[in-house]
Amino acid sequence: MADGSDRKGLLGLCTICVSAFLIFLSYNSMQNLESSVNKGDGTTAVGVIYLAIICGTPLAPRVMGTLGRKWALVLSSCTYVAFIASNLYPVWQVMIPAAVVLGTGGAVLWPTILSLLKHFSQLHARSRGADEGKCLDHFSSAFWGSFQFAQLTGSLMIFLIIRKGGEDASKAVTLLAIVYTGCSALGCFLIFALLEDVDKGDGEPRGEGEGDGDKDGAGLRAVVDRLMEPKSLLLAGVYFYNGIEQSFAWCVFTSEMVLPAFGGNEAMIGILMLTYAGVDAAVGSLAAQLPSTKRTTRISIAVAIVLQCAGVLGYRYLLLDSVPALYASAVALGAGDALLNTKIGVLLGLEYGKGGEHRHMVTAWRGVTALGCALPFFLSGHTGLDFNVWLLAGSGLVGLAMFAGSVAEEEGEGEGYAPI
């Protein structure tokens, strides 16, 4: 029967989803514009963000354990506001320091959000006597759905505001930066005002190991130790590909596929990314209806990689200059991204159940993903479309091979595919 824990779980989920919607509506939209409107300083700054995330990743469990997850999320979300505001004066002296600040905050934000989703899904499941794996699947899908609905809304704003601005795209981008700064600031305020301080010691049930503060393994040693385990190393190929496919969509797809196809019309970035985000949000919601077993989760991850690579390769080498094929590529990229983000999170929840262990593995996932995200932004302007397409396909092939190895590793230990 539902009780106070059930309401707390749902309120926590809603707070995270609404806040993430406002913050990533702003950040993702500005990031999509960097590779086309603000080339040079903008794309370099985004690359620096992901480099800073890599450097800050080992410290994330320590920050979460010291501040508590609510205050770690408040502090890290404020760094997004700072970077978005830096686009009001987009010169490297402003954007690069802001990128370093955001990268440090982003290293903390992602494992904090995913740890809170796991915590609130457990509260919800236990209050209703439901399956914890299925509840985690539903909560993860709700979060990633709100994340991609933010992308969808931001892309629509890009299209409408830049189209209305006519030839002077710089004024439209300045207006977008002002609007996005306000939206992200509101998201930070909602976290501060509404999110429960789950680590305050109020006696609420926690998952096994959730309240340990990571005392025996916080920081670099614990994250590296987890990542160096054979099974974790084999999963790293999928994490890296997850970063490559995201930055391919945000950077390469917008600047090297969409703009040339539409004669440099920046407003069309909004339309194509609207398609990408809409499919991403829809598939992310539908993914929760799949069985929450290791087998189904792994198959979903493999299908996502194949779908994305086939969509991009097909457009580049079979249907180049076909506008319907370009939209099909956006659909493939969006659907694959939804499956990867929801199902990697669920797989880690199934494989690594304890709180401290789960935080370390989520931190490792986001750190390796950040490395994949950084590459296309740093390479932007120095490589051609063919190189970037084969970077996506090659990393996907390697990721699949390593992923198959991780399955074989687990089968060799006799764990099989039993549902959790």
Is the pLDDT confidence value at 253 over 60? yes
Task: Give 328's pLDDT tier (boundaries 50, 70, 90).
Answer: very high
Q: Which residues contact 349 (CB under 8 A, 6 or more apart)?
A: 118, 133, 136, 140, 358
Q: What is the DSSP letter of 3?
A: -
DSSP codes of every residue in 105-126: HHHHHHHHHHHHHHHHHHHHHH
CA-nearest of 198, 144, 205 to 12 is 198
Task: Give 247's pLDDT tier (boundaries 50, 70, 90).
Answer: confident
pLDDT of residue 161: 73
pLDDT of residue 419: 32
Query: Mind listing the pLDDT tens digit for each residue in 143-185?
Result: 877 887 887 787 778 777 766 655 555 677 788 888 899 999 9
How far is residue 332's CA from residue 340's CA, in Å, rounded to a whole number? 12
pLDDT of residue 310: 94
CB distance 332 to 307 below 8 Å: yes
pLDDT of residue 209: 41
User: Phi and psi (nearest 5°) for 130?
Assistant: -95, 170
pLDDT of residue 78: 95
CB distance 162 to 274 below 8 Å: no
Is the pLDDT confidence value at 356 over 70? no
Mean pLDDT rounded to a whole number for the chain: 79
Query: Mind listing the pLDDT tens digit for each residue in 23-46?
Result: 998 888 777 666 555 555 566 777
Is the pLDDT confidence value at 189 over 90? yes
Range among 2-6, 51-55, 222-226 rated most confident:
51-55
In the chain, what percentage of residues exceed pLDDT 90? 23
CATH superfamily of 4-197+225-411: MFS general substrate transporter like domains (1.20.1250.20)
Give the helix/strand (H/E) hosting 207.
none
pLDDT of residue 397: 94
Taking residue 145's Cβ as centre, other Cβ atoms within 10 Å add up to 23
Is the pLDDT confidence value at 411 over 60? no
Q: Detail the DSSP E strand segments found in 244-378.
A: none
How far is residue 181's CA from residue 20's CA, in Å, rounded to a whole number? 14
Which residue did the predictor score with more confidence, 32 or 124? 124
Query: Mind listing the pLDDT tens digit for each residue in 73-93?
Result: 999 999 999 999 988 887 778
Q: What percent of the chain is helix, strand and coil (3-state, nearest 5)?
A: 80, 0, 20
CB distance 118 to 230 below 8 Å: no
Which residue did the predictor score with more confidence, 216 or 106? 106
Task: Give 218's pLDDT tier (boundaries 50, 70, 90).
Answer: very low
Least confident among 66-75, 218-227, 281-290: 218-227
Please give the average per-residue pLDDT across 17-23, as a whole number: 94
212-215: list long-range contacts, CB under 8 Å, 24+ apart: 212/355, 212/356, 213/65, 214/61, 214/62, 214/64, 214/65, 214/356, 214/359, 214/360, 215/65
- Structural domain boundaries in the chain: 4-197+225-411
Please give the average per-residue pLDDT across 337-363, as a whole number: 75
Residue type, 33: L
Please give the average per-residue pLDDT across 372-393, as a whole number: 83
